[in-house]
Structure 1
Amino acid sequence: MAEQLPRTAGVLLRGCGSATPSRSISNDELSQRVETSDSWIQSRTGIAARRVVGPDESLAALSAEASRQALAMAGWSAESLDLILLATSTPDDLFGSAPRLQAALGANQAAAFDLTAACSGFLFSVVTAAQYLRTGAMRRVLVVGADQLSRWVDWDDRRSCVLFGDGAGALVLEACDDGRDDLEGFVLRSDGSRGGVLQLPQREEHQALIDGASHQIGGFQTIQMNGQEVYKFAVREVPAILQTLLSKTGTEPEQLDWLLLHQANQRILDAVADRFKIPQAKVLSNLASYGNTSAATIPLMLDEAVRDGRIQAGHRLASSGFGAGLSWGAALLRWSGPA
């Protein structure tokens, strides 16, 4: 379990944004490709449709649009950013896509790098950003969660292709010296010994180089998932880590305004809410419209709920990300919004 350093500065959540591909593919449409049905998918996952990046769209463009919205909400210029963290497991460039995002935004003063932790990536990135802010090394940070899982889905595997979609969400955070703090606590965990139940492995293909030597051809397989094991992992570990978080912060479930979980399966969301006796009205979910967008799910849902007025300044949210690695985490957040 990650230990938290003593706080020096607080962290404020100032603005959010999101972007999704224009093309939505319904369950009925997907049934034209694989043997499935809307009722089968919805009863097992809660998903009714997903967005897929088209030929005139890109993950980079979605990330930039979500970022611009977050900056606009906060009233910040891109030049005021000190750091950009891009949480993605599906970058446009394996050497890193965050610098390209920095250039697209014109954030000339910001350092930028990718952070890969699959569906936990956004939450891990928010916690990472907070450490730069708490120490005083940075004052303003942009965190983006974005994934284009449609690149790596086997669209002929009906067990997995129904689950995933593409999207991007962004959050801007600011250091605060007056005692306020929107990141009230966090817990992060990983267990690589169980990583085989959800992975996107390399292709094991080699080619002769010279006599007595060969090289591996770059590339990856499609997403490999043991759905039953992933489900059991989530319904066991997510309530446990949330309980640890609430205990560490002295928070009772009834003190929460919202439960904001990684959007993977509606049954998981329902099981966690039932465990803590949190009313369904307090459980944020847009899974039906987007499916599992990996690192994008939490900021995508956050932005939707802020913009439609559900999340108000001062509201407290318990959030948890979980997925491949295996990795999982939880954070107790407060929404401040623009200054």
Structure 2
Amino acid sequence: AASRQALERAGKTAADVDAVIVACSNLQRPYPAVSIEVQDALGVEGFAYDMNVACSSATFGLQAAVNAVENGAARAVLVVSPEICSAHLNFRDRDSHFIFGDACTAILVERESDVAEGQGFSVVSTRLRTRFSNNIRNNFGFLNRADESGIGKPDKLFVQQGRKVFKEVSPLVAETIQNQLSGLGLKATYLSRMWLHQANLNMNLLIARKLLGRDPQEQEAPVILDEYANTSSAGSIIAFHQYHEDLQSGDLGVICSFGAGYSIGSVVVRRR
């Protein structure tokens, strides 16, 4: 449904798409790739593959889609993020089970020449960053049966050390976005909107404050946590979907997701 809605909004059909990327942190299986099943269901020719970079999957997928379009591998790429977070939760863990929700998002990335005048957003820049950490982890996998003593243990579900994540990831995200903007000759104050990963309100406020040098206004860093909860990599895309219609041609914004890995994906866009 999300994929068909994305195509409809773009005025495109499956025949216009050359690739499908399923980018999410909660894949149903290792193989065959879920993306190929989605490709088949939509009737898309070309190629498809899965990508998992935890909560940053959607923005990493966007960067891969941009690369495929820029190098001519595809005319248009559909990036789909089906996040079924409830399946990896430990409902006995009172510190985490209540903060997640399930959702699916889809974004079509295509050549600018194929987009109608004044429609959509141009991708100005992408920036990816990773740094290894065990502070968010899920050890579930097909090798679990090699050690029967570990089967059914809490580490085979979502586990995180929230305070450490907050302390370590927040400045890393702000630094990544700031460096990206500086490389473009831009200041954070030029941004009309920041669609940040929807995991923690205080984390987003801290990141925005570090970038802007002041508390952000509500519309500058919109929050959808109260309605959708944490939907992993889909969160920043949901925020983008719900809070972009008021932007004017030329307005800048950044879509940024971050999480386990650690991983950070940042995409600067401009309203066409």
Question: The TM-score by the shorter chain falls in which range?
Answer: 0.7 to 0.9
Deviations 1:244-279 (A, max 9, x none): 111011112221110111101000111122221343
DSSP-derived class of the 1:143 partner: strand
Partner of 1:191: 131
2:161 matched residue in structure 1 = 226
Distance 1:70 1:313 in 2: 21
Report what 1:104 is aligned to.
Answer: 41
Q: Is this contact kept in 1: 2:140–2:157, CA < 8 A?
A: no
For 2:135 and 2:206, the matched residues in 1 are separated by 21
Please give the alpha-carbon distance, in whole angstroms, between the structure 1 residues aligned to 2:156 and 2:192.
41
Please point out which of 5, 15, 23 is paired with 1:87. 23
Relative distance call for 1:142 and 1:313 in structure 2 (3 A) is farther
Distance in structure 2 (CA, Å) of the matches to 1:82 and 1:323? 29
The residue type paired with residue 178 of structure 2 is: Q
Q: Give 3-state SS (helix, strand or coil) of 2:20's partner.
A: strand
The sequence identity of aligned pairs, in percent, is: 29
State the partner residue of 2:227: 289
Contact 1:273 1:279 in 2 (8 A): no
Q: Shift in Å at residue 157 of structure 1?
A: 0.7
Map 1:1-339; keep pairs closer than 5 Å: 65-95=1-31, 96-107=33-44, 109-176=45-112, 182-192=122-132, 194=133, 196-202=134-140, 204-206=144-146, 221-275=156-210, 276=212, 277=214, 278-306=216-244, 309-336=245-272
Contact map agreement 2:89 2:157 (CA 8 A) in 1: yes
Query: How far off is 1:104 after superposition?
Result: 1.6
8 A Cα contact 1:142 1:172, kept in partner:
yes
Q: Give the distance between the partners of 1:263 and 1:334, measured in 2 at CA.
A: 21
Q: CA deviation at 1:134?
A: 0.8
Kindly indicate whether the alpha-carbon contact (under 8 Å) linking 1:270 and 1:280 is maintained by their aligned counterparts in 2.
no
Q: Within 2, Cα distance between the matches of 1:205 and 1:141?
A: 37
Is the 8 Å Cα contact of residues 242 and 330 (structure 1) preserved in structure 2?
yes
Give structure 1 stretches of 5+ with no counterpart.
1-64, 209-215
Q: TM-score, normalised by structure 1?
A: 0.71
Deviation digits for residues 39-88 of structure 1, max 9, x if unmatched?
A: xxxxxxxxxxxxxxxxxxxxxxxxxx111111000110112100111111
2:25, 2:54 within 8 Å by CA — same for their partners in 1? yes
* Equivalent in the alignment of 1:37: none
Distance 1:318 1:297, change over 3 A: same
Structure 2 unaligned blocks of 5 or more: none
Amino acid at match of 1:164: F
Secondary structure at the counterpart of residue 108 of structure 2: strand
Give, in whole Å, the separation in 1 of the partners of 2:205 and 2:179: 19
Q: Give how far 1:156 is off.
A: 1.4
Q: Which runs of 4+ in 1 moved over 4 A?
A: 216-220
Q: Distance in 1 between matches of 2:93 and 2:271?
A: 39
Distance 1:134 1:257 in 2: 26
1:207, CA displacement in angstroms? 7.0
Greater C-alpha radius of gyration: 1
1:91 maps to a residue whose letter is L
Q: Note the C-alpha offset of 1:314.
A: 3.8
SS at match of 2:139: coil
